Chains A and B, each alone.
Chain A
Amino acid sequence: MLNELKQNPPPTLTEMKPLQGAEALVSSLLAACKKELITLARYPVSFVASFAQVFLIVAIFSLAGQMFSQPGSASLNVNGVVVYGFILFIFLSDTLWTIGANIRQEQVQGTLEQLYLSPANKFANLASKIVNLLTLTMILSLISMGVMSWMLGGLPFHNPLLGLYIFVMTLSGVFGFGFAFAALTLRIKQTAETLANLLQFAVMILCANFFPFSALPEPLRMVSRLIPLSYSVDAFRSTLMGFPAGFPELASIEVELVIVTVFGLLTPLLGYWAYIRAEDAARRSGSLAEF
């Protein structure tokens, strides 16, 4: 053993290089995903609480809607607007908290710097957060669709393939936004939680997840038009509702599809670029472990 070590000594700290190549990336990604899923399994209350939360959100908004509805005049379009908007909202909300706040949590717990000192691919750590999102939030959104459909008395469901395309592009864009938010978290630290909270509420209003865009005052609607996610929300629900009169509200579906596609393809690249820069800056300044 001793002779072996003398013949093949382990690399010194300065000789160590990050693991590179596709195989190393896949291996790091799988290990990071496994770690995320194990962590998820260690907090069963969190899992159950998320499900209970969906029921409560549905109940609260359904009851709030009831306060304004006359018996026998329930509008199917409003149900579709709320439910499909809600599904995109939980993905955005979970992305902000799972990717951004998770980085922050690792900073507070003191594991982030150690993770970055290892020769594993750093992108794998970031990408593994998405696994959490895709498993838990996907199940949550499917359940919420079922619950809402039951509570609100049926949902319109048309053009599933086009709807799926818009959904995938939107998710891709949202994840890219999550990467950018993680980058910001490394810079602004504790303020990230406040910002995530504010962003969530800003999106609720400006992207009109729970009501049609026509309910917004004109100045706010102009701001909505500047946000790509607004077009995703509008295109997604208009498509699944079968393009009822007045939908989509912000632009024609062709224009919205172009915007959603560009959003889905470009945002992950920009988000990752921003993250790499922030990470590099944090490592140079030695602030990875600061909070």
Chain B
Amino acid sequence: MQSGYAVHSLQANLSVVLASTWMRLLTISRYKGQLISDIVVPIVMASMPILLGRATAGDQAGQIFEARTGTANYVAYMLIGSSVFTIVSSSFWHIANWLRWEMQTGTLEALYMTPTGRVWIAAGTALYSMLRSTLSAFVSYFAGSLILGVNPFQGELLMALVFILVGLLPVYGMALIFGAVVLKLKEANALINLMQWLVSFLMGVYFPVAILPPFFRFLALAFPPTWMTNGVRSALLGVGYFFGVWYKDLAVLWVFLFIAPLAGYFIFTRVETAMRRNEGLGQF
């Protein structure tokens, strides 16, 4: 215990991040079914509104959809929505599930006794989650496009990639806030289920947020994934940026990029400190 001091050097912290990421990648490599599920689920999610649309509008589905959204390519529209949703949902899911799992198995409190910064362990989990979900979303989009018969290489692919990469950090900042909520309320499964549908609703997974009532539209526009999704759709399908040009929409995402991670860090550390002082982290 004499040498039990906290590790603070950048090299040591990076080592914690990489060790945490590596451990999780190693674990997930043992569960190949989960990796397949990551790819299949977005395709299935996109298929439901596509089939519903075909059953409702028949041959006119593309025409009606274009009048509502600005593109007749409803298959790619839904696939983009569900693929970006996978990235966003995974970030929340992985952070919340990590905390909840460690709480239930009784290792969270033990982890907090180690001489490392918790945020660096969380950063390792976030890095793992980014790698896993982004790769799955890409594979899912390309595989889904091929299965459902649309061209995955249309539009400005690089621009779409930029929107995704810039949007990742704000998303993980928000995931950290969600992690704090799970730490406090403990009911991870219920919160994750609710969050998944709330995220789908706010980011417009199957529809443009312009059709939402004013209050919900305001909430949706304050939600970084909405800008991510619309940016990718505009780059690939030309549905139109919120501010008309790509750089203004991207600038908004940059603002989120600075605010969301800081807010996430601040809220998470506050909740964590309060819990350690009060009931502790071992309860579930």
Report A's interface with B, CB cutoff 8 A.
43, 45-47, 49-50, 52-53, 56-57, 59-61, 63-70, 75, 78, 81-82, 97, 101, 105, 108-109, 190-191, 194-195, 197-198, 201-202, 204-205, 208, 210-212, 214-216
The answer to whether the Cβ of B104 comes within 8 Å of any Cβ in the partner chain is yes
Chain A residues in 8 Å Cβ range of B64: 67-70
- Give chain A residues whose Cβ lies under 8 Å from the Cβ of B34: 191, 194
B115 on the interface (CB 8 Å rule)? no
- Tell me the smallest distance from the CB of B111 to a CB of chain A, in Å: 16
Q: Apart from A198-B37, A211-B52, what 19 extra A-B contacts exist at CB < 8 Å? A: A43-B186, A50-B190, A56-B197, A60-B206, A61-B48, A65-B49, A67-B64, A67-B74, A68-B56, A68-B57, A68-B64, A70-B60, A78-B52, A78-B56, A191-B34, A197-B37, A201-B41, A211-B54, A215-B54
Interface flags for B19-46 (1: CB within 8 Å of A; 0: not) read 0000000000001011011001100110
Chain A's closest residue to B60 (CB) is: A70
Cβ of A49 and Cβ of B190 under 8 Å apart? yes
Per the bound structure, the CA–CA distance linking A83 and B256 in Å amounts to 38
Given the complex, which residues of B lie within 8 Å of A101, measured CB to CB? 189
Question: Considering the chains assembled together, what is the distance between the CA atoms of A109 and B186 in angstroms?
Answer: 14
> In the complex, how many angstroms separate the beta carbon of A18 from the nearest chain B beta carbon?
29
Q: Mask for B60-72, Cβ within 8 A of A = 1, else 0?
A: 1100110011000
Closest A residue to B197 by beta carbon equals A56
Interface size bracket, B side: 35 or more
B240 in contact (CB, < 8 A): no
Minimum C-beta distance from A130 to chain B (A):
18
Q: Does B162 contact A (CB under 8 A)?
A: no
11 interchain pairs, CB-CB under 8 A: A47-B190, A49-B193, A49-B194, A63-B211, A64-B206, A69-B57, A101-B189, A197-B41, A198-B33, A212-B55, A215-B55
B51-A66 in contact (CB<8A)? no
Contact B41 A108 (CB under 8 A): no
Is the beta-carbon distance between B53 and A204 smaller than 8 angstroms?
Answer: no
B-side interface mostly: helix
Q: Which residue of B lies closest to A196 (CB)?
A: B37
Tell me whether B6 is interfacial, beta carbon within 8 Å: no
B271 at the interface (CB under 8 A from A): no
- Residue with the highest number of chain B CB atoms closer than 10 Å, among A66, A68, A78, A190: A68
Contact residues in A for B10 (Cβ distance below 8 Å): none
Q: B40, A78: Cβ atoms under 8 Å?
A: no
A residues near B134, Cβ cutoff 8 Å: none
CB distance from A71 to the nearest CB of B (A): 10
* B198 lies within 8 A of chain A by Cβ: yes
Cα A148 to Cα B205 with chains together (Å):
20
Q: Which 3 A-B pairs have the closest CB atoms?
A: A46-B190, A64-B206, A56-B197
Q: Does B151 touch A at the CB level, under 8 Å? A: no
A205 to B206 Cα, complex, angstroms: 17
Please name the residue on chain A nearest to B192 by beta carbon: A49
Alpha-carbon gap, A260 to B152, bound state (A):
42
Is A63 a contact of B206 with CB atoms below 8 Å?
yes
Query: B47 at the A/B interface (Cβ < 8 Å)?
Result: yes
Min CB gap A204→B, angstroms: 6
Q: How far is the CA of A50 from the CA of B191 in the complex (A)?
A: 9
State whether the Cβ of B200 lies closer than 8 Å to any Cβ in chain A: yes
Collect the chain A residues with CB atoms within 8 Å of residue B36's CB: 198
- How far is A97 from B48 in the complex, measured between Cα atoms in Å? 21
Contact across chains for A60 and B56 when beta carbons are under 8 A apart: no
Per-residue contact bits, chain B 74-107, to A (CB 8 Å; 1 contact, 0 not): 1000000000000000000000000001001100
A82 to B193, CA, bound (A): 20
Candidates B31, B186, B206, B284; contact of A67 at CB < 8 Å? B206
